[in-house]
C-alpha cells in the first residue's frame, strides 16, 4: 500500500519540476510568437496614424519595426503556428 502512495508523489513531483523548468521557456515562445503576429497588424496602423499627424520619427521607427516583424514572420515560418491541425477523420 505504501508503494502506491510513493508512486503518486513521484508522478506529482515529475509534473511539478517539469512545469517549473519549462514554463519560462514556453512563456517566452508564446510572447515572442504572439507579439510578432500582433505587430504585423498593429504597426501599420501606427505608421498611418503617425504619418497623418506628421510625426515622421515615430512613423519611421514603427515602419522599421514592422519590416522586422514581417521579415521574422516569413523567415522563421511562424505562420505554421497559426494553421489549423490536420483532420484525422
DSSP H stretches of helix in 1-89? 2-52, 56-75
Residue 13 covered by a domain: no
- Segment 14-23, tens digit of pLDDT: 888 888 889 9
Contact, 51 vs 59, CB < 8 A?
Answer: yes
Number of domains in the chain: 1
The string of pLDDT tens digits covering residues 28-65 is 888 887 888 788 888 899 999 999 999 999 999 999 98
Q: Is residue 28 part of a domain?
A: yes
The answer to whether residue 27 sits within a structural domain is yes
The parent domain of residue 39 ranges over 22-80
Residue 15 inside a domain? The answer is: no
The predicted model scores a pTM of: 0.60
Q: Is residue 87 part of a domain?
A: no
Q: Is residue 88 part of a domain?
A: no
Average pLDDT of the segment spanning 74-89: 81
Domain for residue 34, yes or no?
yes
User: 73 in a domain, yes or no?
Assistant: yes
Amino acid at each position: 500500500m505504501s508503494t502506491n502512495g510513493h508512486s503518486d508523489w513521484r508522478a506529482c513531483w515529475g509534473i511539478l519540476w517539469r512545469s517549473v523548468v519549462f514554463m519560462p521557456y514556453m512563456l517566452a515562445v508564446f510572447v515572442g510568437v504572439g507579439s510578432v503576429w500582433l505587430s504585423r497588424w498593429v504597426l501599420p496602423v501606427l505608421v498611418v496614424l503617425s504619418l497623418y499627424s506628421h510625426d515622421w520619427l515615430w512613423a519611421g521607427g514603427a515602419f522599421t519595426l514592422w519590416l522586422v516583424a514581417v521579415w521574422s514572420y516569413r523567415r522563421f515560418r511562424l505562420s505554421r503556428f497559426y494553421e489549423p491541425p490536420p483532420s484525422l477523420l
